[in-house]
Amino acid sequence: MPRFSREHSLEYTQLKKNLRKWLRKRDYKSILKFLTKLHPADISELIDNLPEDEEKAQLFSLLDLETASDVMADLSEGSRRAILKDITHDHLTDIVKDLPSDEAADILGVLPKERVERILAAIPPQDSAEVKSLLKYHKETAGGLMQAEVWALPANMTVEDAIEQLRTLAQETEEEFHNIFVINGEKKLLGTVSINKLILSSPEKKLSELMEKPKGVIFVDEDQEEVARKFQKYNLVSAPVVDHNGVLLGRITIDDIVDVIEEETSEDFYRLAGTDVEEIVYGDNIGKIARIRLPWLLTNLFGGLLTGYLMWLFKHTITDAIALIAFIPVITGMGGNLGLQSSTISVRGLAIGKITLHNFKHHLFKEIKVALVVATVCGSTVGIIAFLWHKQPTLGLMVGLAMFCAMSMAVLMGTIMPILLRKLGVDPAVASGPFVTTANDITGILIYMTIATLLLNYLRG
Contacts to a second copy from residues 432-451, by CB under 8 A: 433-434, 437-438, 441, 445
Residue 320 CB neighbour total at 10 angstroms: 15
Instruction: Identify the H or E element spanning 117.
Output: helix 113-122
Residue 131 or 334 with smaller CB distance to a second copy: 334
Please list every residue from 338 through 397 that binds a second copy, using CB under 8 A. 338, 340-341, 343-345, 347-348, 352-354, 356, 358-359, 362, 366, 369-370, 373-374, 377-378, 381-382, 385
Residue 135 CB neighbour total at 10 angstroms: 18
The single residue among 215, 387, 416, 451 that binds a second copy, judged by CB under 8 A, is 215
* Relative orientation angle of helices 434-454 and 393-423, to the nearest 10 degrees: 150
CA 257 – CA 263 distance, rounded (Å): 10
Exposed e or buried b per residue across 220-247, where buried means at least 16 C-beta atoms within 10 angstroms of its C-beta: bebebeebbbbbeeeebebbbbbeeebe
68 exposed, middle or buried (CB, 10 Å; 0-12, 13-18, 19+)? Answer: buried
Residue 144 or 414 with smaller CB distance to a second copy: 414
Cβ 101 to a second copy shortest distance, Å:
17
CA 228 – CA 222 distance, rounded (Å): 10
Cβ 318 to a second copy shortest distance, Å:
7
Residue 41 or 426 with smaller CB distance to a second copy: 41
Cβ 268 to a second copy shortest distance, Å:
8
**Across-strand partners of 206?**
158
CA 402 – CA 404 distance, rounded (Å): 5
Please list every residue from 250 through 289 that binds a second copy, using CB under 8 A. 254-255, 257-259, 261-262, 265-266, 268-270, 272-275, 279-280, 284, 286-287, 289
Q: Does 220 bind a second copy (CB under 8 A)?
A: no
Nearest to 161 by CA among 191, 201, 114: 201
Q: Does 207 bind a second copy (CB under 8 A)?
A: no
Please list every residue from 44 through 63 that binds a second copy, using CB under 8 A. 45, 48-49, 51
311-315 long-range contacts, CB within 8 A, separation 24+: 311/445, 311/449, 313/449, 314/445, 314/449, 314/452, 314/453
Cβ 440 to a second copy shortest distance, Å:
11
Q: Does 200 bind a second copy (CB under 8 A)?
A: yes
Cβ 283 to a second copy shortest distance, Å:
9
Nearest to 322 by CA among 218, 219, 211, 456: 456
CA 206 – CA 442 distance, rounded (Å): 70
Cβ 179 to a second copy shortest distance, Å:
9
Cβ 367 to a second copy shortest distance, Å:
9
Dihedral of CA 143/145/149/150: which sign? negative
Residue 32 CB neighbour total at 10 angstroms: 13
Using CB under 8 A as the binding criterion, the count of chain residues that bind a second copy stands at: 130
The single residue among 34, 137, 296, 404 that binds a second copy, judged by CB under 8 A, is 296
The single residue among 315, 426, 454, 460 that binds a second copy, judged by CB under 8 A, is 315
Q: Alpha helix (H) ranges present in 322-433?
A: 328-351, 360-390, 393-423
Question: Mask: binding to a second copy, 414-433, rule CB under 8 A, as x and -?
Answer: -------------------x
Q: Does 158 bind a second copy (CB under 8 A)?
A: no
Q: Does 233 bind a second copy (CB under 8 A)?
A: yes
Q: Does 13 bind a second copy (CB under 8 A)?
A: yes
Residue 143 or 274 with smaller CB distance to a second copy: 274
Q: Does 24 bind a second copy (CB under 8 A)?
A: no
Q: Does 327 bind a second copy (CB under 8 A)?
A: yes
The single residue among 152, 166, 416, 456 that binds a second copy, judged by CB under 8 A, is 166
